[in-house]
């Protein structure tokens, strides 16, 4: 079991290193931070001084090693715009993002999973078709389109809700709804197909043949099996809690991590961008580890393999 997780954790660490390296290279190849931050009219001496101050005139591999050395010491760099530690900037935005993504996650689960189960149990019925059509619409419509549509209806036409900002809980409603609908649609479809797959298995027939009432066949035989694939998609959704709201935050001017990222990228504020990416990679990787662990918990076949070690 230990070896199993050692391998997983090693792989996770490698993933993080690759993500950070990729971000590092792409950001440095795609524009000069000095020009971006100081503007094209800045005098050459100022630009040179800026580059020197941030180590931008060093060779790229030197910057790269320097960067990893700093991470090893727990230093994630400072923003080139205001000189504050990048991690501080990011951390203070996280609550705002979670204020959107956590409720949205809860809604996705509360909406998507029951809808998927219901659709599977009533396969081919009008409700199944309605759920599936909504689901397809839900994840084919891009979130910015959906966001604008909701703003158009509820803010512009009806005037019930504000179209942007972060002044009260009412401001959070439209962003949360936007985030929930797409995810709920994905979950509903996924849960439905997992359920259908399980309901077709011989052990479901065995349970019915034993005289288990259908409701109990579903709850104690089908659901635990359908949970195994569904956990994968849930894990992915947990991984997007920190940075899954980039588009929605931008549309609704919500001051979360996503908007910080957009601004930082536009400015080539390298330390901030890298700090966010590191954080995102870490949440993704952690949620994957949790999923692996849950598999072992849900599926005795995997657990047994671990026990042999």
Tokens of residue 169, six digits: 């809980």
Q: Is 3 in the site for another protein (CB under 8 A)?
A: yes
> Would you give the distance in Å from CA 170 to the centre of its chain?
23
Residue 36 or 196 with smaller CB distance to another protein: 196
Tokens of residue 269, six digits: 């504020």
Residue 73 or 215 with smaller CB distance to another protein: 215
Residue 201 or 253 with smaller CB distance to another protein: 201
- Name residues contacting another protein, limited to 118-177 (CB under 8 A): 124
Question: What long-range pairs does 148-154 form, CB within 8 A, spacing at least 24?
Answer: 148/251, 150/174, 150/177, 150/178, 151/251, 151/252
Tokens of residue 59, six digits: 């060779």
Residue 7 or 48 with smaller CB distance to another protein: 7
Considering the complex, what minimum distance in angstroms separates the CB of residue 302 from another protein? 8
Q: Which residue bears the tokens 């918990």? A: 297
Q: Is 83 in the site for another protein (CB under 8 A)?
A: no
Considering the complex, what minimum distance in angstroms separates the CB of residue 207 from another protein? 7
Q: Is 309 in the site for another protein (CB under 8 A)?
A: yes
The site for another protein, by CB under 8 A, has a size of 32
Q: Give yes or no for a contact between 291 and 231, defined as CB atoms under 8 angstroms apart.
A: yes
- Name residues contacting another protein, limited to 173-232 (CB under 8 A): 201-203, 205-214, 220-221, 224-225, 228
Considering the complex, what minimum distance in angstroms separates the CB of residue 304 from another protein? 7
Considering the complex, what minimum distance in angstroms separates the CB of residue 303 from another protein? 9
DSSP 56: T
No. of helices (H) and no. of strands (E), the chain:
15, 0
Considering the complex, what minimum distance in angstroms separates the CB of residue 122 from another protein? 9
Considering the complex, what minimum distance in angstroms separates the CB of residue 204 from another protein? 8
User: Which positions ≥6 away from 39 have C-beta within 8 Å?
Assistant: none
Strands of 168-289 (E only): list them.
none
Count of Cβ atoms closer than 10 Å to residue 183 Cβ: 26
Q: 222, 166, 165: which is closest to 192 by C-alpha?
A: 222
Residue 1 or 137 with smaller CB distance to another protein: 1
Residue 20 or 207 with smaller CB distance to another protein: 207
Q: Applying CB under 8 A, which residues contact another protein?
A: 1, 3-4, 124, 201-203, 205-214, 220-221, 224-225, 228, 298-302, 304-306, 308-309
């Amino acid at each position: 079991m230990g070896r199993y997780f050692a391998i997983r954790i090693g792989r996770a660490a490698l993933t993080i290193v690759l993500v950070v390296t990729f971000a590092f290279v792409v950001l440095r190849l795609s524009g000069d931070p000095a020009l971006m931050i100081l503007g094209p009219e800045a005098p050459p001496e100022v630009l040179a001084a800026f580059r020197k101050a941030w180590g931008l005139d060093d060779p790229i591999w030197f910057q790269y090693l320097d960067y990893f050395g700093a991470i090893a010491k727990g230093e994630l760099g400072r923003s080139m715009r205001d000189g504050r530690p990048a991690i501080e900037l990011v951390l203070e935005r996280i609550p705002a993002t979670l204020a959107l993504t956590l409720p949205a996650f809860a809604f996705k689960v509360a909406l998507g999973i029951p809808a998927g189960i219901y659709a599977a149990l009533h396969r081919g019925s009008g409700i199944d078709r309605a759920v599936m059509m909504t689901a397809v619409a839900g994840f084919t419509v891009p979130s910015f389109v959906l966001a604008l549509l909701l703003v158009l209806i509820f803010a512009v036409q009806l005037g019930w809700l504000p179209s942007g900002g972060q002044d009260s809980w009412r401001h959070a409603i439209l962003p949360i709804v936007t985030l929930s609908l797409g995810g709920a649609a994905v979950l509903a479809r996924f849960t439905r197909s997992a359920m259908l797959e399980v309901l077709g298995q011989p052990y479901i027939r065995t349970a019915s043949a034993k005289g288990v009432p259908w409701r109990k066949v579903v709850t104690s035989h089908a659901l635990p099996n359908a949970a195994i694939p569904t956990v994968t998609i849930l894990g992915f959704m947990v991984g997007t809690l920190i940075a899954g709201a980039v588009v929605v935050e931008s549309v609704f001017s919500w001051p979360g991590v996503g908007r910080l990222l957009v601004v930082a990228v536009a400015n080539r504020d390298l330390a901030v961008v890298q700090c966010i990416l590191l954080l995102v990679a870490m949440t993704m990787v952690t949620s994957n580890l949790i999923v692996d662990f849950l598999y072992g918990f849900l599926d005795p076949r995997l657990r047994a393999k671990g026990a042999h070690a």
